[in-house]
Structure 1
Amino acid sequence: MRALRISLIVLGIVVVLFVVADRVALYITQGEVASRARGSLGLSEEPDVSIKGFPFLTQVAGQNLDKVTLGLDEYEALVDGETVMVTDLDLELRDTELSGGYSDAVASEASGSGVISYDALTDAYGELLGSENNGFGATFEYADGGLLLVNLQVRAMGQSLNVGSVTCEMVLEGNSITMEIVEENIPESIPGGEAIVREELETERTISELPDGLSLSSVEPTAEGIVLSVQGADVNLT
């Protein structure tokens, strides 16, 4: 009986030591992944990293990580060269193969999403539209049914005047977005009327400077902002 008790105590100690070693190794590895991901994905800062699954050491021994999540509070992308802030960018990398003495890590699949606020979208588009000196401007907000409400403005004597609104659908092709007008309510007070509104809103705009290896898979207006979904394959973390 005493021998059994001693064996159980020893087993308990071994289990505790294994768990401690597993968590320490996990903590160190997550820091290393964050550092490498910053460079390999072209990030401006180190992301928050979480490697899922327990125990961690058995995943390392098998040279495969089931799931790794990366998170950034803010990320700067570009819309036709104008900076736009993407917030709450969360990425999930699956089936990450380790090789080269664990110095190389490639995820077979990656996906994630982030949000562009309507204020950020208005700022970016405001710079694009304002650079064309056509007296036209716009602000953005959410419309029901997953559509975008565009409030039209004209600029006169240094002032921006709201003159009406149109509802648009956001159409994605590659990494380019077009706002297609689905409800026409274009006021006559805009210089050039319908032609100028359609030309400016339905111009294809390219979103660039996404994390390396990822491309847009969908864009969806929501109450919180424009949700950008991204995906990629064979994403290198090193």
Structure 2
Amino acid sequence: MRALRITSIILGILIALAIAADRVTVGIAEGEVASRLRSTYGLAEEPEVKIQGFPFLTQVAGRHLDHVDANLSAYDATVDGQALTVTDLNIELRDVEINSSFSEVVAGTATGDGLISYEELTRAYGELLGGAGNGFAVEFRQGEGEQVLLALQVTVAGQSLTLDEIPASLVVSDGAITLDVDEADIPTFPEIPGADVNATVQEQLNAAHSIEGLPAGLSLDSLTPGADGVRADVSGADVVLN
């Protein structure tokens, strides 16, 4: 009985040490992944990385991680070359494969979401629409349901015209964002000699703006308005993390 008790104690200690070693190792690995992500994507600070599953050492030996979560406090994508910051970007990676030299990491699938504030949308679209000196400006606000509200300002021939609370939908298609505004929701601007204001407004609002700069393999699926801003949902396959 005494020998059995001693054996049980030793076995328990060995198991505890193995678990502790596994957890220490996974902590080191999470730090390394966070460091590489920061370097690869030029992040201002290291993201939070959590490698799920147990035991970790067995996963590493097989160079396959079942599930990795990453949270990026801020990530800069671009829309037609104009920076657009996505905050609190959470990405869930599945079936992560690591090559033999540990120099390349690819996730089989990835899903995630982040937040784009209305202030950030207003800033970015202000650069896109007003940057050409066409006297066109737009402000984004919270709307009802899955729509946003737009406040438009158009300056033509020295005259400034303002429209407020125009409902619009943010449509994502083929890697581009488009503002979908019903013509019935846009009041007719007064006529200005030599300028077709209504045509200008329609042209600016209906323009598609390309989304770029997301991690290789990820694409934007949808933009859903909420109280604090627009929720951006992303997904992809064969997402490169090295």
Given the two structures, how large is their TM-score scaled by the length of structure 2?
0.87
Once the two structures are TM-superposed, the CA of residue 52 in structure 1 deviates from its matched residue by: 0.6
Task: Determine the structure 2 residue equivalent to 1:109.
Answer: 109
- The AA in structure 1 aligned to 2:198 is E
1:228 equivalent to 2:232? Answer yes
Please give the secondary structure, in 1, of the residue aligned with 2:181. strand
Please give the secondary structure, in 1, of the residue aligned with 2:227. coil
- The AA in structure 1 aligned to 2:238 is D
- The AA in structure 2 aligned to 1:145 is G
Task: Determine the structure 1 residue equivalent to 2:186.
Answer: 185
1:10 equivalent to 2:10? Answer yes
**Alignment length (residue pairs):** 236
* Pairs within 5 Å for 1:42-57: 42-45=41-44, 46-57=46-57
- The AA in structure 1 aligned to 2:90 is D
- The AA in structure 1 aligned to 2:19 is V
> Taking structure 1 as reference, are residues 88 and 223 closer, same or farther at Cα in structure 2, changes over 3 Å only?
same
Task: Determine the structure 2 residue equivalent to 1:131.
Answer: 131
- The AA in structure 1 aligned to 2:130 is G
* Pairs within 5 Å for 1:84-163: 84-155=84-155, 162-163=162-163
Answer whether contact 1:52 1:67 (CA < 8 A) is retained: yes
Once the two structures are TM-superposed, the CA of residue 145 in structure 1 deviates from its matched residue by: 1.8
Please give the secondary structure, in 1, of the residue aligned with 2:60. helix
The separation in 2 between residues aligned to 1:91 and 1:112, in whole angstroms, is 4
Please give the secondary structure, in 1, of the residue aligned with 2:128. helix
* Identity %, equivalent residues: 47
- Decide which moves more: 205-214 or 186-195: 186-195
Once the two structures are TM-superposed, the CA of residue 101 in structure 1 deviates from its matched residue by: 4.4
- Structure 2: tracts of 5 or more residues without a match: none
Please give the secondary structure, in 2, of the residue aligned with 1:227. strand
CA deviation string 1:93-149 (max 9, x = no partner): 101122314443221111211111000010111122222333321110121120121
Match of residue 204, structure 2, among 178, 181, 200: 200
- The AA in structure 1 aligned to 2:241 is L
Answer whether contact 1:76 1:83 (CA < 8 A) is retained: yes
**C-alpha RMSD over aligned residues:** 2.4
The separation in 2 between residues aligned to 1:101 and 1:50, in whole angstroms, is 22
Q: Which runs of at least 4 in structure 1 moved beyond 6 Å after TM superposition? A: 158-161
The separation in 1 between residues aligned to 2:219 and 2:60, in whole angstroms, is 29
Once the two structures are TM-superposed, the CA of residue 18 in structure 1 deviates from its matched residue by: 0.6
The separation in 1 between residues aligned to 2:103 and 2:171, in whole angstroms, is 40
- Decide which moves more: 142-151 or 183-192: 183-192
Answer whether contact 2:223 2:232 (CA < 8 A) is retained: yes
> Taking structure 1 as reference, are residues 106 and 133 closer, same or farther at Cα in structure 2, changes over 3 Å only?
closer
Task: Determine the structure 2 residue equivalent to 1:33.
Answer: 33
- The AA in structure 1 aligned to 2:125 is Y
- Structure 1: tracts of 5 or more residues without a match: none
1:170 equivalent to 2:170? Answer yes
Answer whether contact 1:43 1:211 (CA < 8 A) is retained: no
